[in-house]
Amino acid sequence: MSAIGPAHCMLCAQPFPDTISKHLYSTSHKQPPPSSIFHAAGLYQGILRDAVQLLKYRGHALARPLGQRLAMIVRSKKTGVLPHRIAPAPLHPQRLKKRGDTQALELAETLACQLRVPPCTGLLQSARRTPPQQGLTAAERKSNLSNAFALNAEVAGLRTLLVDDVMSTGETVRVYCRILLLGGAADVQVAVVGRS
């Protein structure tokens, strides 16, 4: 597994070549993500990519070890502040019915158990079905997500940890975080298995 070393951006987990380099992913500085801290178990390549693909389509047994790995990463940041709630990224009901389960939910439940924080499985909901983000341009991704999600529970004053399997451009995560912050969340952190 390609772990993300200590030399990385706390806002987006983009690795640095060394501990004194400046940020490589200038988007995070020009348009900072709405999350306060970004946690990633590793780079989305090699064995970690294979594990996420298995988890997504048929490897539910992988949710526990991957969730435990994420919990170790979250604890290692030593912020001293745990979230009040852990929420999975939402999946549209039709897609959920087709898959039978959601990998984000399974990861969130394991992470919640490890950190002893209550999971909030219905916090965000998919308001309309969207095509997969994979393969879309940046502009298409943004348009695809317009009004696609809604807040389904009270978050005012709560620190929330949002969990998903992979982040690539970060557009989806950005939308989730904005919705939570607009709903009054005190803080939003993000945890993903793979950072592409």
Asked if 41 contacts 13 with a C-beta cutoff of 8 angstroms, the reply is no
Instruction: Report pLDDT for 125.
Output: 78
CB 66 within 8 A of CB 108: no
Q: Is residue 175 part of a domain?
A: yes
Count of domains forming the chain: 1
Residue 45 is given by DSSP the state S
List of residues 6+ apart from 22 with CB closer than 8 A: 16
Residues in a beta bridge with 187? 159
- In a domain? residue 122: yes
pTM of the model: 0.78
> The domain that contains 84 carries what CATH number?
3.40.50.2020
The number of beta carbons lying within 10 Å of the beta carbon of residue 119 is: 20
pLDDT digits (tens, 9 = 90+) for 51-102: 888 887 776 788 899 999 999 988 887 666 788 999 998 865 555 555 556 7
Residue 196: predicted pLDDT: 81
In-domain check, residue 136 = no
Ranges of residues in the chain with a pLDDT under 50 are 24-26
Domain-embedded: residue 93: yes
Element (H, E) at 168: none
Domain encompassing residue 98: 33-128+146-195
Q: Which of the 8 DSSP states describes residue 61?
A: G
In a domain? residue 1: no
Residue 41 lies in a domain: yes
